[in-house]
Structure 1
Amino acid sequence: MAVSFANVNSEAGLKKLDEYLLTRSYITGYQASKDDLAVYSSFSAAPSSKYTNVARWYSHIDALLRLSGVTEEGKGIKVESSAVPVASTPDVAEAKAPAADDDDDDDDVDLFGEETEEEKKAAEERAATVKASGKKKESGKSSVLLDVKPWDDETDMAKLEEAVRSVKMEGLFWGASKLVPVGYGIKKLQIMMTIVDDLVSVDTLIEDHLCEAPVNEYVQSCDIVAFNKI
């Protein structure tokens, strides 16, 4: 089901989005996608820092766009117009509910789409932890930009990227990438990844996976260009 948001330039819209991002790093899924880009583009200005979760998400997407762009396909979202509506409820845009079965008499409007039982349980547990600790929620994730350098100008960069992405670990999510000219016909691969801090060590990932067989057939070295908590 597509997710729907009210006017994100209004107090009510920002509050709803802030609550939605309390237990999420991205609008949908576990990687930055075109859904994030759609919501990001609907802002007329950077959100106030008092909306902690929105400000954190906005800064992260802004950084991704500056570094490598967002290319992951989205799941579909809807953002209401930023213009102030003329209706009697100026701060809340009405969300069009999906067609219901004849025997469905639930009139509640779900602005953010249906969540699975697992998502609801995870959100409840995270909210309970935040309430108990009295601290702001920490995502426990980091966004990392890597420079991956080939052996020489004859290295097949498509196979190099394929080898890098073949590394699979719990808590590791590969993102956008691009080739950057270095000189003398040589290019390096810049690739984004999101990691769950408690599950993935970047140093271990590089030393034990990216710089070892079979990946090191194509990869000479890897360097961390940017490392940001999200």
Structure 2
Amino acid sequence: MAVTFSDLHTEAGLKSLESFLSGKTFISGDEITKDDVKVYAAVLEKPSADLYPTACQWYDTVASKLASSFPGKAAGVSISAQAPSAEAAPPKEAAKEFAADDDDDLDLFGDETEEEKKAAEERDQAKASTKKKESGKSSVLMDIKPWDDETDMKKLEEAVRSVELPGLLWGASKLVAVGYGIKKLTIMLTIIDDLVSVDDLIEERLTVEPINEYVQSCDIVAFNKI
């Protein structure tokens, strides 16, 4: 949807303006454009520097240049370096007077080039990556059983802990007698839910070669979200 002047009175409109200006070189040299003045006039007040840093900088730049000279009605409005006259209107009033002479809504995205679209997509992806919250974590208690009483439990535990995956952290462990001289390994592990599947860990790592030389089976005793 096209972004018009009326939209700039809302939070959504300011967000669109911030997104549009982000990454662009606005107000080049000593010139401002008709569209700069029109959008400036449509913004009710200076955007928050914390929420809309680029729009805030743009707003200050336009205000400063309008204060230097009242713009004419040309598409490209040249701002001279000379001091303003005593009769010059304040920046906001001057901008509103200028914008009132042109009733056309400004479509901020109407003439966006393919390069600008690509740059905007890259910025959005970067922001999404930065703002992405860490996935939830879970604490798992697992019983790992050997084949028989002759299985070297020290080597069994070493084999289990040799499994390394992003988001997997092995914790405390102990040997628990199950009868007939056989002991099982009870071990804690912490996982990041989006990175590690406990079922896959068992089926694809702990009960296949070479670890299945020591491990006969694995059982999940407890599974708790952290």
TM-score, normalised on structure 2? 0.41
The higher-RCO structure (CA 8 Å, 6+ apart) is 1
Q: Which has the larger radius of gyration?
A: 2
